[in-house]
Amino acid sequence: MIDQNTFIAEYADRRRVLLLVLLGAMATVIGKAVDLQVMETDALQRKAERQYVSAVSMAAYRGNIVDRHGEPLAISAPVYSVWVDPQRFVTTGRQRRALARLLDIPAKRLDKLTPGKSGRRFVYVRRRISPSLQKQVMALKLPGVAFKREYKRYYPTGEVSAQLVGFTNVDDIGLEGIELAFQNTLNGTPGRKKVIRNGKRQVVADFERADDPIPGQDVQLSIDQRFQYIAYRELKAAFIKQQARAASLVMLDARNGDILAMVNQPSFNPNTIRGQSQGRFRNRAITDVFEPGSTMKPFTVACALEQGNLDLDTIIDTSPGTFRVGRNTVRDMRNYGALDVAHILQKSSNVGISKLALSLSPESFLGCYQRLGFGQPVGIGFPGEALGRLPSYDKLRAFEQATLSFGYGLSASALQLAQAYTALANEGEMLRVRLIKDEYIEPAVRVMSADTARTVRQMLEGVVSSEGTAPRATVRGFRVSGKTGTVKKIGEGGYSNDRHLAIFAGIAPASRPRIVMVVIVDEPGGSEYYGGLVAAPVFSRVTSSVLRLLGVQPDREQSMPLVRVTADGSI
């Protein structure tokens, strides 16, 4: 039998041990609590933030591209991109198929993003969906699915300004045109903020905003969207009618060199570039070069007038329609007989202009072309701008000098040719072309006297008469100066007899120029392939509409006799 005192003593000992254990446990808990609450507060907060707080970037608004009147050519609209955390994408096959249908993506792609099949934590599944579609995806309430707010580029004018404006990729980086040339200006600076996520990794609140996004700057072009549309419409109609390989048109303001319109065919829709041929993306008016043909003849005449080698009474015999230069022969369409300078341009006589060019020294002749900007960059900063080619005078043979006078043996872009024609429109001062409206306007460069420019411009009115090569370039109520060009394209075996460029360069109104335009149709497929039959009508239709929109008063009734320039340059 256990002694009562012994039992009480043992019970007291056990109680003390138990109390000591409990006190020790409490001390441990209190100590741990103190350690967590006081000593490890910062570390624990950082750990908690890593679990529930994360940094996200905020997309910056990309600057708009607008025309000279502020009409939008490229804008950005808010959209959402869908992404998945594969470690949390615990879904059934039925749920994944429903998401795939909504996003129009293969269901197999989502099957690979489930836990155990991917070690990644962030995978885009569809970029830039509309806000309405984002709400439908959100309604599925799938774990591991999240959204990122972004912007999508939209081009209101579509094909009309496609090669000029260009486009961006899915990350809003410019790939072509103005979008590429002014990427640094248009592109904003993304912002950053910290957000709180719940156990499902969904954003429930903003935690802290570190940096606000900085929107990109707008870029205002010199073009007029009204003129751009008119030019696009007429060029496309001619391109289709002629079954041509390509076509380009450049329109300049004859008073300051602003590019008012620049269009190309074939074009493309920059809003949906998938499946489009990359050949359609380039701005042919700037990037492609060609031999300008007879559109160079006015500059040969201007050079001869400047050098004092002829006056308006000079007669050149073009009989019998051929001209032997060394071992080569220059040919006309037919025998034009004796022609004065104005009729050499009106009839576009290769023989007459060759004899005129050979009366000049190679240095002075090529010097005229150089001053007009040929063989030099225009310098508007557009990607892929072509330099063109102009031979050096020290290697220039007589026959090469003759062919240069009617536009063979050199190359230029449509924009270079249009810039050169501004010298004839602007009283002998060549304008520096401008594509960005708020850029500094460089001073014009005098390349010939005002008298010479006016004289040649008046001569070119004869080209657009019923007796010239471009009666289809006439504009009702207005005097027009212009020059045709029909160029044989060169191939592997030399110049082709069935592949041509049809060109027209024109100025209107002739009495007080407002626009300068160059139209090029590459390889017209029909029986009509001459510049006066294919390119000149495009000039006429576009000019008629543009002058009406500009409110320019007709000048057809005005009478301006030819200015007679003597050998010493006096009137």
Tens digits of residue pLDDT in 404-425: 999 999 999 999 999 999 999 9
pLDDT at 199: 53
Q: Which residues are catalytically annotated? A: 294
Average pLDDT along the chain: 87
CA angle 533, 534, 535 (to 5 degrees): 110
Kindly report, residue by residue over 70-84, the tens digit of the pLDDT: 999 999 998 888 988
Q: Measure the CA–CA gap between 93 and 84, rounded to whole angstroms.
A: 15
pLDDT at 52: 54
pTM, two decimals, is 0.83
Q: Which residue has the tokens 């954003």?
A: 203
DSSP H/E element including 30: helix 4-34
Whether 73 and 165 have beta carbons less than 8 Å apart is answered as yes
pLDDT at 551: 96
Q: Where would I find the beta strands (DSSP E) of 336-436? A: 338-340, 429-430
Q: Measure the CA–CA gap between 166 and 269, rounded to whole angstroms.
A: 10
Kindly report, residue by residue over 475-512, the tens digit of the pLDDT: 999 999 999 999 999 888 789 888 999 999 999 999 99
Buried b (16+ CB within 10 A) or exposed e, 497-507: eebbbbbbbbb
For the chain, helix (H) and strand (E) counts, in that order, are 19, 19
Q: Closest by alpha carbon to 107, among 124, 125, 119?
A: 125
pLDDT per residue as tens, the chain (571 positions): 556 666 566 667 777 777 777 777 787 777 666 665 665 666 556 655 555 555 656 778 899 999 999 999 999 998 888 988 888 888 888 888 999 899 999 988 888 887 877 778 888 888 888 888 989 988 998 888 888 888 899 999 999 999 999 999 988 899 999 999 999 999 988 877 655 555 555 554 444 556 778 899 999 999 999 999 999 999 999 999 999 999 999 999 999 999 999 999 999 999 988 878 888 999 999 999 999 999 999 999 999 999 987 888 889 999 999 999 999 999 999 999 999 999 999 999 999 999 999 999 999 999 999 999 999 999 998 999 999 999 988 878 999 999 999 999 999 999 999 999 999 999 999 999 999 998 788 899 999 999 999 999 999 999 999 999 999 999 999 999 999 999 999 888 789 888 999 999 999 999 999 999 999 999 999 888 999 999 999 999 999 999 999 999 998 765 444 444 333 333 3
Kindly report, residue by residue over 159-177, the tens digit of the pLDDT: 999 999 999 998 889 999 9
Whether 456 and 302 have beta carbons less than 8 Å apart is answered as yes
pLDDT at 562: 47
Residue 525's Cβ-side half-sphere holds a number of Cα atoms within 13 Å equal to 9
